[in-house]
């Protein structure tokens, strides 16, 4: 870091501004209690304003002159300072407040600062060592090298199994090793929850970009779609977007959710982790919190898709109104000259020579002599099982609609809609035209038609 860069960051960083605010203790303590302690993502304005009023009265019991402003004024100021974000849900007129990435980062930093933990040098070094080994092993494209790595791991595991069978003893972590790794897991969990606000802000920035595009003068529907798709592709192809969607697919697995829940339950049952401090309890509900946070971000993406549809509908209505106006103008001009038509024979000129494409101008196909048919009838016909033959004809191509519905649901979990062409590219057709017809039937018969486009 250079001198000028540090100077600029100290003067313009929202995180520094939050920490240096005169009422920073009020902001951080109140928001931490309402959002982080209660595990809330979005809080209605009326509720947050009431809780802030109660909190201010509590603080004024010891310091009567402190914080003289009204709760609503503080909330509005925090919005202006980019410490809170005010938004609206589609099903409710009451606005809700959400923490911004700035506040999430500062609260996470203060939580780490207040944690009374020792520095687990061993666990941190082993994690660095393990990550470096994972990068090395998973980045190789040489089959022989990868086989050698897996063979080495297999031999190590087999040696440990043999040693346990011979001695009957298992090498395990001591209390200190368990403690430092548990602290490290809690630190990463808090950081992961805080990172969701930054990801959600990315979707919000994309929505604002769409809005600004739609407000441009004479913005065409095609240009809006092109810019939206480019921005959406840029977000999903970014490192942050790829990481989130990979994580979301992992989180959707019932098996992974159950495994995570079992892991947390097993860890908390250890005698060496019997903590009376409630700050160590946040990891118990990590599964439900991660699911709620991820779903909130996916809903933000759905709101983005809804914004796209709304803008395209508005653009289409505007074009239709303009076409109707032009038709009325043409009709008015025609009525004005109805009694006095133009005398010039060539009052309408077409540029260029006309191109004619008559049906009768097409040449006929040349006749080809067909070979003489030869018939041979074998009267000794074998016995025919009509029912079996009909079943074979009927069951020649069987399309399992359940599998097709699962394919659609998997795609719609990460996006609002998909065309049939895109769906076929992801899941290639294996049963021919019958499978395509089945996709179209599903789109018409189920609720998938709201997000699955069966045309194109």
| pLDDT at residue 303 in the model | 64
Whole-angstrom Cα distance, residue 414 to residue 109?
31
As a dihedral over the C-alpha atoms of residue 281, residue 193, residue 111, residue 5, rounded to 10 degrees, the angle is 170
In which element (H, E) is residue 86 found?
A: strand 84-87
- Going by C-alpha positions, the residue among 372, 375, 435 that lies closest to residue 407 is 435
Question: Is 46:95 a contact under the CB 8 Å cutoff?
Answer: no
For position 268, what pLDDT does the model report? 78
The rounded Cα 344 to chain-centroid distance in angstroms is 64
Query: Residue 325, Cα to own-chain centre: how many angstroms?
Result: 42
Write down all domains in the chain, each with its CATH number in brackets: 3-114 (1.10.10), 115-171 (no CATH), 173-335 (1.20.58), 393-453 (no CATH)
Mean pLDDT of 121-137: 75
Q: How many other C-beta atoms can be found within 10 angstroms of the C-beta atom of residue 16?
A: 14
Q: Is the pLDDT of residue 94 over 80?
A: no
- Cα–Cα dist 236/245, whole Å: 8
Select from 75, 72, 95 the least CA-distant residue to 84: 75
Q: What is the CA radius of gyration of the chain?
A: 34
Residue 393 has pLDDT above 60, yes or no: no
Average pLDDT, the chain: 75
* Measured distance CA(218)–CA(356) in Å, rounded: 36
| pTM, entire model | 0.46
- 211 pLDDT band, cuts 50/70/90, is low
Segment 290-316 mean pLDDT: 68
Q: CA angle at residue 76 from 73 to 80, to 5 degrees? A: 135
Mean pLDDT of 333-358: 75
The string of pLDDT tens digits covering residues 395-454 is: 555 677 788 888 888 888 777 778 888 888 888 887 777 778 778 878 776 544 444 444
Query: pLDDT at residue 390 above 60?
Result: no
Structural tokens at position 274: 């019997």
Contact 45, 94 (CB under 8 A): yes
pLDDT at 430: 79
Asked whether 414 and 248 are in contact (CB, 8 A), the reply is yes
pLDDT at 456 over 50: no
Helix axes 221-237, 286-336, angle to 10 degrees: 160
Four-residue CA torsion sign, 399, 403, 405, 411: negative
Dig out the tokens for 422 from the structure.
Answer: 């895109």
Contacts of 252 (CB under 8 A, 6+ apart): 413
pLDDT band at 175 (very low <50, low <70, confident <90, very high): confident
What percentage of the chain carries pLDDT values higher than 90?
A: 4
Q: Does residue 311 sit in helix, strand or coil? A: helix
> Higher pLDDT residue, 312 or 13?
13
How confident is the model over 304-339, as pLDDT tens digits?
A: 666 666 666 666 677 778 888 888 888 888 888 777
* Residue of 437 and 209 predicted with greater confidence: 437
Task: Give pLDDT tens digits for 145-158.
Answer: 889 888 988 998 89
Query: 182: buried, middle or exposed (CB in 10 Å: 19+, 13-18, 0-12)?
Result: buried
**Distance in angstroms between the alpha carbons of the first and the last residue of the chain:** 53
Q: What is the pLDDT of residue 439?
A: 80
User: Are the beta carbons of 228 and 210 closer than 8 angstroms?
Assistant: yes
pLDDT of 387: 62
Using the predicted structure, report yes or no on whether residue 42 has a pLDDT greater than 70: yes
Q: Report how many helices (DSSP H) and strands (DSSP E) the chain contains, helices first.
A: 17, 5
Q: How far out from the chain centre does Cα 208 lie? A: 17
| Distance, CA of 161 to CA of 268 (rounded, Å) | 26
What average pLDDT does the segment 251-255 reach? 77
Mean pLDDT value of segment 257-284:
72
pLDDT score for 12: 83
Long-range Cβ pairs for the range 105-114 (8 Å, 24+): 105/15, 105/194, 106/15, 106/18, 106/19, 106/28, 107/28, 107/31, 107/32, 107/36, 107/194, 108/190, 108/191, 108/194, 110/28, 110/32, 111/36, 111/190, 112/187, 112/190
């Amino acid at each position: 870091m250079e001198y000028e860069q540090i100077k600029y960051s100290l003067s313009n960083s929202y995180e520094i501004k939050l920490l240096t605010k005169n009422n920073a203790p009020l902001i951080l303590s109140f928001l931490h209690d309402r959002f982080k302690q209660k595990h809330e993502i979005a809080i209605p304005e009326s509720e947050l304003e009431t809780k802030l009023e109660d909190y201010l009265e509590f603080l004024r019991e010891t310091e009567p002159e402190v914080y003289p402003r009204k709760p609503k004024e503080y909330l509005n100021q925090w919005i202006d300072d980019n410490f809170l974000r005010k938004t609206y849900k589609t099903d409710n007129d009451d606005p809700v407040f959400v923490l911004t990435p700035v506040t999430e980062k500062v609260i996470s930093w203060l939580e780490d600062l207040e944690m009374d933990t020792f520095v687990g040098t061993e666990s941190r070094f082993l994690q660095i060592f393990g990550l470096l080994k994972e990068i090395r092993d998973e980045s190789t494209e040489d089959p022989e090298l990868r086989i050698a790595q897996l063979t080495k791991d297999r031999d190590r595991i087999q040696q440990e199994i043999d040693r346990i069978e011979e001695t009957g003893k298992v090498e395990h972590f001591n209390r200190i090793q368990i403690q430092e790794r548990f602290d490290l897991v809690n630190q990463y969990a808090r950081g992961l929850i805080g990172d969701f606000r930054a990801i959600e802000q990315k979707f919000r920035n994309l929505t604002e970009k769409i809005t600004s595009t739609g407000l441009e003068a004479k913005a065409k529907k095609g240009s809006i779609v092109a810019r939206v798709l480019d921005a959406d592709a840029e977000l999903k192809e970014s490192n942050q977007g790829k990481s989130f969607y990979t994580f979301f697919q992992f989180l959707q697995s019932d098996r992974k959710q159950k495994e995570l829940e079992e892991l947390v339950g097993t860890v908390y049952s250890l005698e060496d982790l019997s903590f009376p401090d409630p700050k160590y309890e946040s990891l118990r509900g990590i599964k439900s919190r991660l699911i709620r946070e991820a779903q909130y971000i996916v809903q933000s993406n759905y709101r983005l898709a809804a914004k796209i549809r709304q803008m395209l509908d508005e653009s289409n209505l505007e074009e239709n109104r303009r076409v109707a106006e032009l038709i009325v103008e043409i009709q008015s001009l025609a009525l004005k000259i109805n009694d006095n038509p133009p005398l010039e024979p060539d009052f309408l000129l077409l540029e260029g020579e006309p191109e004619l494409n008559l049906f009768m101008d097409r040449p006929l196909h040349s006749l080809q002599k067909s070979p003489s048919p030869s018939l041979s009838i074998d009267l000794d016909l074998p016995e025919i099982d009509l029912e079996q033959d009909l079943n074979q004809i009927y069951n020649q191509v069987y399309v399992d609609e359940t599998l097709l519905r699962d394919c659609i649901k998997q795609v719609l979990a990460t996006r609002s809609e998909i065309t049939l062409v895109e769906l076929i590219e992801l899941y290639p057709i294996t049963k021919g035209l019958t499978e395509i017809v089945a996709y179209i039937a599903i789109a018409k018969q189920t609720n998938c038609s709201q997000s699955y486009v069966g045309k194109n």
